[in-house]
Amino acid sequence: MKKTKIIYWILTCIFSALMLMASIPDIICGPDAITFMHTHLGFPVYFIPFLGVLKTLGVIAILIPGFPRIKEWAYAGLLFDLIGAVYSIRMVGDPSNGWLLMFIWIGFGVASYIYYRKLSPAKL
């Protein structure tokens, strides 16, 4: 049990850090976020800080102990965000293979969720 808990927290901290680092430029509407999400992907500018705030709230929900149902929704929302990012990048015909790196983030999210479920005492 102790080994499972350590693995869970390592995976969760890495996943949370990746998502938080991605959300901060969105919240402050940094020039890189505007260039990538608005100019390249075509998202409206008002949508960018909204996504950043939602990612931050998801990270907070994952890191705070308790609230299992909210945690489930947070994992789902963050993984939907990552899958949507992969889809958006592919659909605009991005010639780089940067979208492949997103699968590393998705992998950390899925692994964190799997270990969360192993530690969860009650099945939802």
For residues 1 and 74, give the distance between their C-alpha atoms in angstroms, rounded to a whole number: 24
DSSP state of 76: H
- Global pTM reads 0.87
Round the average pLDDT of the chain to a whole number and report it: 90
DSSP element (H, E) containing 37 = none
Cα 100 to Cα 37, 116, 118: the distances in Å are: 17, 25, 28
Q: pLDDT tens-digit profile of 31-82?
A: 888 888 888 888 898 999 999 999 999 999 999 988 989 999 999 999 999 9
pLDDT at 12: 96
Mean pLDDT of 76-98: 86
- Is residue 105 predicted with pLDDT exceeding 60? yes
- CA 72 from centroid of its chain's CA atoms: 13
Q: Scan for tokens 């402050």, then name that residue.
A: 28
pLDDT at 111: 96
**Which one, of 97, 90, 93, 77, lies nearest residue 19 by Cα?**
77
